[in-house]
Amino acid sequence: METDPLLDLYAVLGIPRIADAEEIRRAYRGLAKRFHPDSGTGEASAERFQMIEEAYRVLSSPQQRREYDHRLKLQEQKARAVLSCQVLTSRETLPAMETEQMLYLLIEIEPRGEFKPRRMPLNLGLVIDRSTSMEGNRLNSVKAAAHRIIDDLQEEDTLSVVAFSDRAEVLLPGQSMKDRARAHALVSSIWAGGGTEILQGLRAGLEQVRRFQRSDRISYLILLTDGRTYGDEEDCIVEARRAGLERIGISALGIGEDWNDLFLDRLVQQANGVSVYVSHAQQIRQILDEQVRKIGRLVARDLSLTLRFSEHVWLEAAFCAAPQFDRLVVEDGTCKLGPLFQGEMVSALYELVVGRAEPGVHRLLQWELTAEALGPPARQERLEADVRLNVSAEPPPEPVPPRILTVLSRLSIFRLQEQAWRALEEGRVLEAGRQLEAVATRLLDIGEYELAQMALLEAGRVAQGAQVSKKGHKTIKYGTRSLGIRTPG
Amino acid sequence: MIACPSCGKQHRPGTLFCTECGVYLPAGGTLRTSPLPTDELPRPRAVAQERELAGIEKSEASRPLYLYVVVENRRELRLPATAEVLLGRLDAAHGILPDLDLTPEGGLEKGVSRRHAKIIQRKGEFFIEDLGSANGTFLNDQRLTPYLPYPLKVGDKIQLGRVSLEVNWEGQNSQE
C-alpha cells in the first residue's frame, strides 16, 4: 500500500506554502525561462523543466492545489508519527463470488523503530489491600515488592502508598523519592485486618496521584487485591472512568483465586490499564516490578481505531490480539485499544464478511487510528489509509500470511474457553466439557502443556458433574488470554 | 458453505478456524495450499536430504551425529543429534521429558521453562528455537524471537533463563 513519496512542489518552485496565485505564477515564469531546454543559459535541463511545469500545473489550479496540500499534510504527519501501523488481510485476491465469504483483517500498531522516547517521570500510586485474607505471605510479598519499587524509582518520580480494608489509610502521602528511608519505614508498618472495600482505597489512592498529576509525568495507580468488593463496584467503575479521562492509568493485580475477574477487567479498561492474575504470593514481586517498568515505557495512550466499510462488507467480530486476547467493543465502527508500550505492540483482528465480490480492484474499507503520543510534548496523532483488494474469477493460490494464521490459531483457543464458560453458566454441561477438552487438545498442539493439563483437569471435573475450580478458571482464562503474540514481528 | 470436518458446523467460504471446536478448516479449493498454523510441524526433511546427497560423494555427505553441550562450564553432555533436541526441565507428572534436563543446574530457580527451547537439525546444520519460554533464550547475548529458528555455529553461547550452555558438534563418517 506504500506509494511513492510526494514531491514537495513548493520547494521545486522555491516558494512558501502560503504563496498566492500571483507569487506562484511569477516563480514559475522565472524558473521556466532559466531551465528551458532551449534557454541557452547553461542551466538548461529537460528534467528540471518538466518538474517545474508539473509543479505549476498542480499549484495553479485551486482544486488540484487543495488536494495536493491535503496529501502532503498526511504524508508529513506520517513522517513525524510515533506509531506505525501494518495492515494484513488473509487474502490479497478474493475469489469472485455472489455469496458471502469470510476475510480476516489484522492491524498491528507499534512504536516506530527509530522512535526513542525520553524517560518521563513517573507519578505512581500503590493501593494495597490489607484485608485479613492478605495476612502472611501475600502481604509480606507485597511489602517486599513495594520496598523494591521505592529503591528502583528515580528522584524525579513520585510515589504514594494507600492501604485499605473497610477504610482507607494514606500510608505514604505522595512525595518525590528524595526521602526513601521514610518511605521504607512507612511501608513496613502495614498490617493486615478487616474486609475489602475497593472504592475506599481507590478514592484515597486517586486523590494522592491527582496531587502530582502533570502533563509531563506518567500517572498510574496500581491496585493490589485478593478479594471481592461488595456493593461499591459500580462506583469504582465511575471513579476509574473519571481517572481515565484525567489521564491517570489504573492497573490491577489480582492475587489468589477469590477476586472478581470480570470486575477488575472492567475497571482497568476504563483507564488504559491491564489486569494480571497472580496465582502465588512469590510472584507478586516480579509481576509488580514488571508492571512498574512497563508503565515507564508508555509511548502512547487512548489508541482508537475506526473502520469504515464499503458496501457489501460488514463486521462479524472484532478482537484485540495483542497485548492480550480480548473481545473488542465496536461502537460506530470505533474501538478503544488502550495504551502502547515501547517494545510491544497492539493489534486487532477483525472478521469481515464480504457479501458479494465482483472481479476488479475494490476498496474494502478505510481505517483511521488516533492516539495521544507521549511527549515531550504530548500530541494527538492520526494515521489513516484505505485497504484495497483484488477480486478475480480465478484467484491465484496464495498462502495465508503466517502472522494471521498464528493469531487465529491462538485466538481460537481463547474463544473456545470463552464458549466453555458461557455453556457452563447456561447449564449446558456436556457441551462445556467437550469444549474444555477441545481447549486442552489445541493447547497441546501449540506446546502449552501446563495449561493443557489444567484444561483437561477441569474438563474431567465438569464431565463428573463437579464445579470448575476457581483456580482452574482463572488459570485458563488468563493463560489463554496471554497466548497472543506481544512483540512486533 | 463449508462444513467443519470435526463438528459439522457450517461456515462461510474463507473461514480458517471453526468457531465451534477450534479446528483448522483446510477447506477445499485454493485454501488447501495454506500452511498449517502450528510452529511445530515436521519439516520436509526427506526431500531436502535427497537433493543434498544427489551431487555429493557419499563420504562427504556426513552429518553431525553428536551434539556436545557444556553446561555452566562444568557438565559436558553428548546428545545424539536427532532431528530435534528438547532443552528444558523435567516434569514427569506432566510427561515433559526433555532430552537435556537442566534441573541439576538449578533450572527452576534460574528461570528455565519446562519446554524452553529446542535444537533442530536440518541438512546437517543446527538451529535453535525458543519455545515461548518464560524467561527467554539468548544466543550470544541476543534474545531470540520465540518460535523462530536461528542458525547455530560451533562454540555459540546459549543462555536459557540464567543457565548458560555452549554447543559443539562433530560429524562422523563411519557408522557406529
| Domain at A76, CATH number | 1.10.287.110
Higher pLDDT pick, B39 / A487: A487
**Which has the minimum average pLDDT: A41-50, A54-63, A64-73, A212-221?**
A41-50
Residue A3 lies in a domain: no
What is the rounded average pLDDT for all residues in chain B? 72
B81 and B167, same domain (yes or no): yes
User: Is residue A296 within 8 Å of residue A290, measured between CB atoms?
Assistant: no
% pLDDT > 90, chain A:
33
A283 and A305, same domain (yes or no): no
% pLDDT > 70, chain A:
96
The enclosing domain of A108 has a CATH number of 2.60.40.3670
Nearest to A413 among B18, B22, B35 (CB): B22
A368 and A435, same domain (yes or no): no
Residue B40 clears pLDDT 70, i.e. is over it: no
The pTM score is 0.65
**Residue A256's pLDDT band (cuts 50, 70, 90):** confident
Span A352-364, average pLDDT: 91
Span A92-101, average pLDDT: 90
% pLDDT > 90, chain B:
5
Residue B46 clears pLDDT 50, i.e. is over it: no
Residue A44 clears pLDDT 80, i.e. is over it: no
Query: DSSP assignment of B61-113, as one string?
Result: G--EEEEEEEETTTEEEEEE--SEEEEE--BGGGTB--SEE-GGGTTTTTT--
User: Is residue B127 within 8 Å of residue B136, measured between CB atoms?
Assistant: no
Q: What are phi and psi of A343, to 5 degrees?
A: 85, 0
* Strand pairing report for B125-130 and A168-176: unpaired
Span A321-335, average pLDDT: 90
Q: Name A40's Cβ contacts closer than 8 Å, sequence gap at least 6.
A: none
Residue B41 lies in a domain: no
pLDDT of residue A316: 93
Asked if A450's CB is within 8 angstroms of B94's CB, the reply is: yes
Span A406-434, average pLDDT: 91
Contacts of residue B22 in chain A, CB cutoff 8 Å?
Answer: 412-413, 415-416, 438-439, 442
Contacts of residue A487 in chain B, CB cutoff 8 Å?
Answer: 145
Task: Give A346's strand partners.
Answer: A109
Query: DSSP assignment of A311-340, as one string?
Result: TTEEEEEEEEEESS-EEPP-BTTEEEEEEE
User: Is residue A305 within 8 Å of residue A335, measured between CB atoms?
Assistant: yes
A264 and A174, same domain (yes or no): yes
**Residue A116's pLDDT band (cuts 50, 70, 90):** low
Higher pLDDT pick, B165 / B47: B165
Residue A32 clears pLDDT 60, i.e. is over it: yes
**Residue B170 to chain A, least CA–CA distance (Å):** 30
Residue A120 clears pLDDT 90, i.e. is over it: no
CA distance A191 to A453: 37
- Residue ending a domain, among A356, A384, A400, is A400
pLDDT of residue A365: 93
Helices (H), A270-378: 283-296
Gyration radius (Cα) of chain A, Å:
28
Range of the domain at B71: 46-53+64-171
CA distance A99 to A224: 51
Higher pLDDT pick, A3 / A145: A145
Nearest CA among A386, A439, A360 for reference residue A87: A386
A90 and A42, same domain (yes or no): no
Asked if B11's CB is within 8 angstroms of A409's CB, the reply is: no
Residue A88 clears pLDDT 70, i.e. is over it: yes
Helices (H), A315-428: 402-425
A33 and A61, same domain (yes or no): yes
**Residue B72's pLDDT band (cuts 50, 70, 90):** confident
B159 and B117, same domain (yes or no): yes
B83 and B164, same domain (yes or no): yes
Task: Give B38's strand partners.
Answer: none
Amino acid at A126: L
B73 and B158, same domain (yes or no): yes
A361 and A466, same domain (yes or no): no
**Residue A455 to chain B, least CA–CA distance (Å):** 13
The enclosing domain of A175 has a CATH number of 3.40.50.410
CB pairs under 8 A between A and B: 86
Residue B138 lies in a domain: yes
- Give the count of domains, chain B: 2
**Residue A442's pLDDT band (cuts 50, 70, 90):** confident
Asked if A399's CB is within 8 angstroms of B34's CB, the reply is: yes
Q: Give, in degrees to the nearest 5, the angle at Cα A416 between A411 and A417.
A: 105
Helices (H) and strands (E) in chain A, counts: 14, 16
A279 and A208, same domain (yes or no): yes
List the grid coordinates of A293.
517498568
User: Is residue B158 within 8 Å of residue B67, measured between CB atoms?
Assistant: no
A147 and A240, same domain (yes or no): yes
Asked if B18's CB is within 8 angstroms of A102's CB, the reply is: no
pLDDT of residue A26: 92
Nearest to A409 among B12, B38, B114 (CB): B38
- Residue ending a domain, among A296, A318, A348, is A296
CA distance A28 to A52: 7
B130 and B72, same domain (yes or no): yes
User: Is residue A348 within 8 Å of residue A320, measured between CB atoms?
Assistant: yes
List the grid coordinates of A423.
455453556
Span A296-317, average pLDDT: 91
A13 and A107, same domain (yes or no): no
Residue A1 lies in a domain: no
Q: Name A326's Cβ contacts closer than 8 Å, sequence gap at least 6.
A: A319, A320, A481
**Which has the minimum average pLDDT: A99-113, A415-429, B119-133?**
B119-133
B9 and B75, same domain (yes or no): no
A304 and A227, same domain (yes or no): no
Residue B85 lies in a domain: yes
- Give the count of domains, chain A: 4
Give all strands of the β-sheet with A168-176 in edge-to-edge order: A168-176, A158-164, A122-129, A218-225, A248-255, A275-278
Higher pLDDT pick, B63 / B176: B63
Higher pLDDT pick, A392 / B81: A392
Residue A156 clears pLDDT 60, i.e. is over it: yes
B88 and B9, same domain (yes or no): no
Residue B161 lies in a domain: yes
B25 and B72, same domain (yes or no): no
Residue with cell 524452553: B116
B17 and B95, same domain (yes or no): no
List the grid coordinates of A330.
465496536
DSSP element (H, E) containing A106: strand A101-111
Asked if B34's CB is within 8 angstroms of A400's CB, the reply is: yes
pLDDT of residue A28: 92
B157 and B74, same domain (yes or no): yes
B82 and B164, same domain (yes or no): yes
Residue A253 clears pLDDT 60, i.e. is over it: yes
CA distance B9 to B25: 11
Asked if B21's CB is within 8 angstroms of A397's CB, the reply is: no
Residue A2 lies in a domain: no
pLDDT of residue A350: 96
User: Is residue B130 within 8 Å of residue B137, measured between CB atoms?
Assistant: yes
Q: Name A143's Cβ contacts closer than 8 Å, sequence gap at least 6.
A: A187, A188, A190
Q: What are phi and psi of A325, to 5 degrees?
A: -70, 140
Q: Give, in degrees to the nearest 5, the angle at Cα B121 between B118 and B127.
A: 55
Contacts of residue A355 in chain B, CB cutoff 8 Å?
Answer: none
Residue A487 clears pLDDT 70, i.e. is over it: no
Q: What are phi and psi of A220, to 5 degrees?
A: -140, 145
DSSP element (H, E) containing A125: strand A122-129
pLDDT of residue A221: 94
Residue with cell 461488595: A230
List the single residue in A with minimal CA-CA distance to B35: A399
pLDDT of residue B20: 81
pLDDT of residue B26: 56
The enclosing domain of B123 has a CATH number of 2.60.200.20
Range of the domain at A148: 122-296
**Residue A347's pLDDT band (cuts 50, 70, 90):** very high
Residue B104 lies in a domain: yes
CA distance A95 to A395: 5
* ipTM at complex level: 0.72
Asked if A453's CB is within 8 angstroms of B115's CB, the reply is: no
pLDDT of residue B93: 64
A65 and A137, same domain (yes or no): no
Residue with cell 520465540: B146
What is the rounded average pLDDT for all residues in chain A? 87
DSSP code of residue B161: T
Residue A352 DSSP SS3: strand
Nearest CA among A442, A480, A485, A440 for reference residue A461: A440
Residue of A364, A411, A450 best to disrupt the B interface, most CBs of B under 10 A:
A450
Residue B58 clears pLDDT 70, i.e. is over it: no
- Residue ending a domain, among A28, A57, A80, is A80
List the grid coordinates of A299.
509511548
Contacts of residue A289 in chain B, CB cutoff 8 Å?
Answer: none
**Which has the minimum average pLDDT: A61-65, A333-337, B16-20, B42-46?**
B42-46
CA distance A242 to A270: 8
User: Is residue B90 within 8 Å of residue B106, measured between CB atoms?
Assistant: no
Residue B28 clears pLDDT 70, i.e. is over it: no
Q: Is A97 on the interface with B (CB under 8 A)?
A: yes
B96 and B26, same domain (yes or no): no
Residue B35 clears pLDDT 50, i.e. is over it: no
pLDDT of residue A376: 63
Higher pLDDT pick, A452 / B90: A452
Helices (H), A91-179: 137-152
Contacts of residue B16 in chain A, CB cutoff 8 Å?
Answer: 90, 102, 104, 400, 405, 408
Helices (H), A89-228: 137-152, 180-188, 198-211
